[in-house]
Amino acid sequence: MAQKSSGPQHGARQNISRVRNQNLSVNDRIESFDEGQSVVLRIHPSEPEGRFHARFHGNRGKITGRQGDAYEVSFEDGGSTKKLYVNPVHLKEAE
C-alpha cells in the first residue's frame, strides 16, 4: 500500500482551497500597510508567491518593515517572536 505524503502543505487543504467569490484584484496586490499596523495572516489560494507556512494562517501580527514588495510581519507564537516576509495579497487589516 502507498504511503501518505507529508509535504510542506500537508493538512492545509481547508486553508488553501479557494472559495467561489474569493477573486484576486489588482488592489489586493498593491495594497499598502503602515509600519506598526496590525494585520491578520490569511493565505490567498490563487497566489503562491510570498505565501507562508499554513500553520501561521489566521495569526495576528504587526508590520515591522518592508523588503521589496513584501512586508515584514512579527508576531508571538508559543512564547517566541516570529518574523515572516509576506506579500500584501496574504494580509488583511485587523479590526
Q: What are phi and psi of 40, to 5 degrees?
A: -115, 135
Mind listing the pLDDT tens digit of every residue in the chain (95 residues)? 788 778 877 777 777 777 777 777 777 777 899 999 999 999 888 888 888 888 899 999 999 999 998 999 999 998 999 999 999 999 999 98
Helix (H) or strand (E) segment spanning residue 13: helix 13-16
DSSP 27: H
pTM of the model: 0.80
Closest to 18 (Cα-Cα) out of 56, 57, 47: 47
DSSP assignment of 54-91 equals GGGTT-EEEEEEEETTEEEEEEEETTEEEEEEE-GGGE
